[in-house]
Amino acid sequence: MNDRQKRFVAEYLIDLNATQAAIRSGYSQKTANEQGARLLAKARIRQAVDEGQNRTLGKLEITRERVLEEIACLAYSDIADYVREDGTIDWPLIKSLPRQKRVAIQKLIVDTTGGSGDGKRKVVERTRFECASKIQALELLGRHLKLFTDKLEVATDGAVAERLAAGRKRLQCP
């Protein structure tokens, strides 16, 4: 790879935008889109990009298994893990939960209302929380496991293929 191609790889790894990486690497702005696509099609450049991405993922400890594990934690979260039998939220319980249970909590809101200087009104603390979308997490897991497909697979016998071939042959001009 030449210096400009090496620079392209470095720039591409910043934001994964081939057009902008080509511009920042010194290629013409008019042809940057085509240049970016052409560069990414080259085996050496693609290999350098893949190696750079793998180094980044390694540093961040991002693995396929870890991502799937996190999605599974969200997908299989249970509201019962966070509340007492009487329906109130037990903060010490939440703090003591293992990480796999806590990751599903997306938002915590604590409101304090009431109270007066004369002691007649009590201070009331209301706690609310929102968990991650189970539907989205289950959909991601399902797609990974190929439970849902956007393709329709049709099985036919050889007769259909023969009839299609015969029809194509009839349509051809002599």
Tens-digit pLDDT profile for residues 11-65: 999 888 999 999 999 999 999 999 999 999 999 999 999 999 888 877 777 677 8
Could you tell me the sign of the dihedral formed by the alpha carbons of 40, 45, 51, 57, in that order? negative
Find the helix or strand (DSSP H, E) in which 130 lies: strand 123-131
List C-alpha distances in Å: 83 to 30, 38, 80. Answer: 59, 56, 6
Q: What per-residue confidence (pLDDT) applies to 32? A: 92
pLDDT tens column, 102-123: 778 777 777 777 766 676 777 7
- All CATH 1.10.10.1400 domain ranges of the chain, comma separated, are 3-60
Angle at which helix 43-60 crosses helix 3-15, to 10 degrees, equals: 40
Q: What per-residue confidence (pLDDT) applies to 119? A: 67
Distance (Å, rounded) from C-alpha 23 to C-alpha 158?
52
The 3-state DSSP class for residue 73 equals helix
pTM for this predicted structure: 0.47
The CATH number, out of the four listed (1.20.1250.20, 3.40.50.720, 1.10.10.1400, 3.30.1330.10), of the domain defined by the range 3-60: 1.10.10.1400
* Residues 18, 26, 17: CA angle, nearest 5 degrees: 15
